[in-house]
Chains A and B, each alone.
Chain A
């Protein structure tokens, strides 16, 4: 098995051709998010941490339909829990856990966990999470601009990072992954991971003597190894954690896998072509 990073012959493609793929995907992702916002009000589905409501994990022999009829209020969702038989995750719109808890205990269910979040607290969390994402992204952008002090290379990094966030968000919508505190953490982590390989590429191309294509290839060898290693770690974490029925970790892992795959594409198509444009045309002008 040969695992050395393949050398891509970038000279065969024009900048326009290279940029087309990532930009099209970014466009599609943005379109998905816009359509989703129009239809359901939010770009991605929000978990109870951001909408308010009650979430309960119960163990019972009853069927899903029987569980549903146990509760007076509407049950928003019933999901069997992986790795644990007869265990279900239930969510409710109502943010008062007391009656729900009573009904569950009355029906003889074993309540493994119950969490409630009031709507106003959830709205607060939503605002803060959005704020955190904006600050994190803005801080990253400012730092990158400060490090390169030139327009095109900075924009290349920032645009890749932006796309690395937007495409996983669209994938979350398509796969029905809810935005929870855990997935917000994954998105923030993605900002850090995404910038890694872009910085490496920019550093090799801009700060080293030598041919553009050689520098790019060297950066790629290192960068692809890094990203693929991280992807492997995250795939394993996702698979193992979901088999073992550990909450939170599968969602975090899956989003990082989405983001890192996107990052591979963005770094070596979008960022490379922007840098080539800068190196051969932007500087000359």
Chain B
């Protein structure tokens, strides 16, 4: 028996695909491993040490959070860049929201509020009315739940930055679109639930306020926010003090120095501060706390301190304005680390509504690890069952053996595909693999029966005609399976998407590569005497 290159090209094609899959699954990631991200991330990804296969949460353990974005938006508005702050101001006062909760973008023609009736208490009608009050006639029906693409991308970037800063490099945040809604899906292998929610749940808006006695009682003034920082050092611990060293940019340094001098923070010997963190800002103001610098995270004062003598004198001399370096002190090293991450990655424009509209999932990594070999055992058992049935039915190893080998090649190529596109395998994919073995063998049975059933195959032409007849059924069945699975591949039903993709790709590999190859193998076997 010879394998002619031209005559049996279908078999050669199968061989090529099996080889390519071997490379995809087993070859160590070389130069083009860029898809998996920077080198330091690789140790954290949920891959396997022997193969390039990636495993999803169900097989590696960790936490997944899916949640929609808080907010509403109106698009297709026309206004100039000058009108932005006016619109924002009107919306803030009409809806009783903070400065960070509204955003007008002249270039995109969009206005959004980062609050809605589910996670907050602004309704679509109220948003429409407020915008009308600002001079833009909009109806309630013009208000869309969800935020703009720009905001979503910003949130995605910040979340990915935070995961990296936190050393959770294997984690990813990505957007998922479902009809009428968009979700953010954050997956962090190996991390537990509270760790992830703490990291992604807050906006992380850092602000430094000055608190000082003014003409009619205590006043506060915002000194700087994230955008004023030129340099952020690593969180440090020194002589029992934990802090994040920061350096302001030039304008902010000047402004900071001016504000300090105007409000008496430059007095000799520094300032005294008796601010108590357990009490609210208002309560503290009534109690004569002295001159304080407050570190505020998401509207909550997390640290308060007076100005040390040497800092006060550098305010006075203007040395600070020249070299605006500063230590944001915190109560613990943990806090310092959190503050640093928040300052580095910037604030989220809007939050994810995990509580009301989200889902979370955590699986213990040690348990998930056990599922990996066990699901291989299950798959192998299914293959054995199929082989046993096929042998019973045909009683001819030369028909049955290639059938099982071909079906196995199909799954192997599918694994190669999964490794090549970095698909993270989950239990639903394993179910998909087993389903593919099932349909694969079904189709091979159709081919074998069609060719063997009506007596001996004497010529190549008879073979061709029978093979083509068999292929009509196979093609039609494959088309139906693909149609039945395609809605799942598009909808965002979580794990079902993976199942559908595996099934569709499996069917395609079967129809285009493995089943024609099996036809050729059979041809060689039945026409051996030709």
A-side interface residues toward B, CB under 8 Å?
A: 1, 3-4, 49, 57, 96-97, 101, 110-118, 120-121, 124-125, 128-129, 131-132, 135-137, 139-140, 143-144, 147, 181-182, 184-186, 188-189, 191-193, 195-196, 199-200, 203, 207, 218, 221-222, 225-226, 228-230, 232-237, 240-241, 244-249, 252, 256
Shortest beta-carbon distance from A182 to chain B in Å:
7
Q: What would 14 A/B residue contacts be, using CB atoms closer than 8 Å?
A: A110-B364, A118-B359, A128-B178, A136-B488, A147-B476, A185-B496, A193-B438, A203-B469, A226-B445, A229-B393, A229-B438, A246-B374, A246-B427, A248-B427
A132 near B384 with CB under 8 A, answer no
A222 near B381 with CB under 8 A, answer no
Q: With A and B bound together, what is the CA distance between A63 and B360 in angstroms? A: 27
CB-defined contacts of B389 to chain A, threshold 8 Å: 225, 228-229, 232
A57, A118, A120, A140: the one within 8 Å of B484 (CB): A140
When C-beta atoms are compared, the residue in chain B nearest to A83 turns out to be B374
Q: With A and B bound together, what is the CA distance between A129 and B491 in angstroms? A: 9
Q: With A and B bound together, what is the CA distance between A113 and B364 in angstroms? A: 6
CB-defined contacts of A147 to chain B, threshold 8 Å: 476
B445, B450, B484, B487: the one within 8 Å of A131 (CB): B487
A181 near B445 with CB under 8 A, answer no
B-side interface residues toward A, CB under 8 Å?
A: 58, 66, 118, 178-179, 181, 193-194, 355-364, 367, 371, 374-375, 377-379, 381-386, 388-390, 392-393, 427-428, 430-432, 434-435, 437-439, 441-442, 445-446, 449-450, 453, 469, 472-473, 476-477, 479-481, 483-488, 491-496, 499-500, 503
CB-defined contacts of A118 to chain B, threshold 8 Å: 355-359
A246 near B434 with CB under 8 A, answer no
CB-defined contacts of B446 to chain A, threshold 8 Å: 200, 222, 226
Interface of B: prevailing SS: helix
Number of A-B residue pairs at CB separation under 8 A: 228
B371 near A246 with CB under 8 A, answer yes
CB-defined contacts of A191 to chain B, threshold 8 Å: 480-481, 484
B484 near A244 with CB under 8 A, answer no
Q: With A and B bound together, what is the CA distance between A151 and B319 in angstroms? A: 91
A229 near B445 with CB under 8 A, answer yes
CB-defined contacts of B427 to chain A, threshold 8 Å: 182, 246-249
A4, A128, A188, A199: the one within 8 Å of B485 (CB): A188
Shortest beta-carbon distance from B198 to chain A in Å:
12
B392 near A3 with CB under 8 A, answer yes
Given contacts A97-B360, A121-B357, A128-B493, contact A196 B382 (CB under 8 A): no
Q: With A and B bound together, what is the CA distance between A183 and B435 in angstroms? A: 13
Given contacts A120-B356, A221-B449, A226-B446, contact A192 B485 (CB under 8 A): yes
B491 near A132 with CB under 8 A, answer yes
Known contacts A193-B438, A225-B449, A236-B384, then 14 further A-B pairs from the complex at CB < 8 Å, ordered by chain A residue? A121-B357, A129-B493, A131-B491, A139-B484, A184-B493, A188-B488, A188-B500, A195-B481, A226-B445, A233-B382, A234-B438, A236-B385, A246-B375, A246-B427
User: What 9 A-B pairs have minimum CB-CB distances, sorted nearest first?
Assistant: A192-B481, A139-B483, A236-B385, A222-B449, A115-B361, A136-B484, A113-B363, A226-B442, A135-B487
Q: With A and B bound together, what is the CA distance between A246 and B370 in angstroms? A: 9
Given contacts A113-B363, A128-B491, A196-B439, contact A120 B483 (CB under 8 A): no
Q: With A and B bound together, what is the CA distance between A195 and B477 in angstroms? A: 7
B378 near A241 with CB under 8 A, answer yes
Shortest beta-carbon distance from B272 to chain A in Å:
40
Q: With A and B bound together, what is the CA distance between A140 and B500 in angstroms? A: 15
CB-defined contacts of A237 to chain B, threshold 8 Å: 378-379, 381-382, 434
Shortest beta-carbon distance from B369 to chain A in Å:
12
Q: With A and B bound together, what is the CA distance between A274 and B26 in angstroms? A: 52
Q: With A and B bound together, what is the CA distance between A34 and B362 in angstroms? A: 36
B390 near A229 with CB under 8 A, answer yes
CB-defined contacts of B435 to chain A, threshold 8 Å: 189, 256
The winner among B383, B442, B472, B479 for most chain A CB atoms within 10 A is B442
CB-defined contacts of A124 to chain B, threshold 8 Å: 178, 181
A246 near B438 with CB under 8 A, answer no
A185 near B359 with CB under 8 A, answer no
Q: With A and B bound together, what is the CA distance between A272 and B358 in angstroms? A: 49
B382, B383, B428: the one within 8 Å of A185 (CB): B428
The winner among A110, A143, A192 for most chain B CB atoms within 10 A is A192
A140, A226, A248: the one within 8 Å of B428 (CB): A248
